[in-house]
Amino acid sequence: MYWIEKGGILMYFIAGMSILGTTVIIERFFYFVSSERRRFDDIRDEFQKYLEKNDVKGAIEFLGKSKSASGRVVKDILSLWSKTKTTNLTTLEEKARETALTEIATLEKNMWILSMVAHVTPLLGLLGTVTGMIKAFQAVAIHGTGDAAVLAEGISEALFTTAGGLFVAIPAMIIYNYYNKKIDNIISDIEKGSTEVINYFRR
């Protein structure tokens, strides 16, 4: 509360951005922990054993427990084949794309909010710097330079908003980039898994 009181009204917006960003960070953390525990490389060997034995049903059951987007995409491809017995590669590829798009949308859910927090919060801090300096110079114009406290109040507000904006934006930017890299790795896994299972049906 001290920072908000000293930083002026813009600190309320910065605090709001902080709450918004923290909410997304926590929500995405729990999603990745619960639904993206394993990389495709971690399940590839066991998955290939099922394919080598032509045990598609066993592979589907295994992938259903894999806790990974790549596993879910490959599972849907195998499920389609299991139901229709089609070896039409175009149909299987379309199913892979359809499921992959759904998974990618889930992976990227709310990431735009975290990006907004990382980019907008420093601008709010900068705006606070400008408005604080305007107040400082207006105070000097009215009261003169005899009372340093009058000048210091505006400068203090400017510095508090600048610091507040950076304190929120820097962690948000770091975590946003970390999550983005994680999402890129998962998308790469989806592509690898889809390619491997479709190549299996090319034989």
Contacts of 18 (CB under 8 A, 6+ apart): 117, 121, 168
Spatial separation of the C-alpha atoms in residues 37 and 30, rounded to whole Å: 11
pLDDT digits 0-9 by tens, 172-190? 999 999 999 999 999 999 9
Residue, of 111 and 145, whose pLDDT is higher:
111
Q: What backbone phi and psi angles, to 5 degrees, belong to 177?
A: -65, -35
Residue, of 202 and 93, whose pLDDT is higher:
93
Q: What percent of the chain has pLDDT over 90?
A: 33
Q: Is 203 helix (H, G, I), strand (E, B) or coil?
A: coil
Read off the amino acid at residue 182. Answer: K
Residue, of 155 and 151, whose pLDDT is higher:
155
Spatial separation of the C-alpha atoms in residues 184 and 59, rounded to whole Å: 25
Indicate the average pLDDT of the chain.
84
Instruction: Look at residue 58 in the predicted model and tell me its pLDDT.
Output: 85
Q: Is 147 helix (H, G, I), strand (E, B) or coil?
A: coil
Mean pLDDT for the stretch of residues 88-94:
82
pLDDT digits 0-9 by tens, 112-137? 999 999 999 999 988 888 887 777 66
Q: Is the pLDDT of residue 79 over 90?
A: no
Q: Is the pLDDT of residue 92 over 90?
A: no
DSSP string, 10-69: HHHHHHHHHHHHHHHHHHHHHHHHHH----HHHHHHHHHHHHHTT-HHHHHHHHHTS-SH
Contacts of 193 (CB under 8 A, 6+ apart): 40, 70, 71, 73, 74
Instruction: Look at residue 159 in the predicted model and tell me its pLDDT.
Output: 81
Q: Is 8 helix (H, G, I), strand (E, B) or coil?
A: coil
Spatial separation of the C-alpha atoms in residues 198 and 173, rounded to whole Å: 37
Residue, of 56 and 7, whose pLDDT is higher:
56
Instruction: Look at residue 6 in the predicted model and tell me its pLDDT.
Output: 62
Instruction: Say if CB 6 and CB 160 are below 8 A apart.
Output: yes
Spatial separation of the C-alpha atoms in residues 166 and 148, rounded to whole Å: 27
**Entry pTM:** 0.83
Instruction: Look at residue 183 in the predicted model and tell me its pLDDT.
Output: 94
Q: Is the pLDDT of residue 142 over 70?
A: no
HSE at residue 61, side-chain half, CA atoms within 13 A, is 5
Burial class of residue 78 (count of CB atoms within 10 Å of its CB; 0-12, 13-18, 19+): buried
The residues spanned by each domain of the chain are 2-202
Instruction: Look at residue 163 in the predicted model and tell me its pLDDT.
Output: 87
Q: Which two tokens stand for residue 49?
A: 């054993």
